Amino acid sequence: MLPSQCLCTNLRRAARGVSRHYDGALDGFGINVAQYSLLCNLQRLDQPSISELAEAMGLDRSTLGRNVRVLEGEGLVTLAEGQDMRNRIVRLTDSGVQRLADALPAWEAAQQRLIDRLGAEKRETLLRLLDELA
C-alpha cells in the first residue's frame, strides 16, 4: 500500500477497511453493512419518507432508492404512498425487523472489536473528528 498524505485517500481507504470488517461480521445474514444501516435507520425513524430517510443517512434520493429496491426485493421493506403522490413511505416488514434482530449480536461484536482495537479515548477522538468532517 502506497503511503499518502491525502485526507480523502486515507479516509476512503479506512472506510473500505471498516466496511469489510462489518460486512464480514454480517456475512451469513444476507445483508451488508450499508443495508444494515438502512434497516437500522428505518427502525429508528419509524416509517419515514424516502426524502427523510435520505437526509438522515446523508444519501441522495436516487442512491437510497436503489438500496431500498434491493431490500424490497428481499422482502425486508415495503413502500407505500405518502400524503401526496410525490412522496413514498418506507416501512420495515416483520422479516426486516427479524433480520435486524438476528444480525444485531454480530454487528455488536464487530463494533466491540473495533472499540477494543482503538481504545476508548481514540474512539471518542475519532468520532469527534468524523463529526467535524461530516
Grid coordinates representing 106 are 454480530
| Residue labelled with grid coordinates 426486516 | 96
- pLDDT per position as a tens digit, 29-72: 999 999 999 999 999 998 999 989 999 999 998 889 899 999 99
Q: Choose among 84, 58, 17: nearest CA to 67.
A: 58
The CATH architecture one would assign to domain 31-117 is Orthogonal Bundle (1.10)
Report d(CA 33, CA 23) in Å as an integer: 5
Mean pLDDT of 5-18: 94
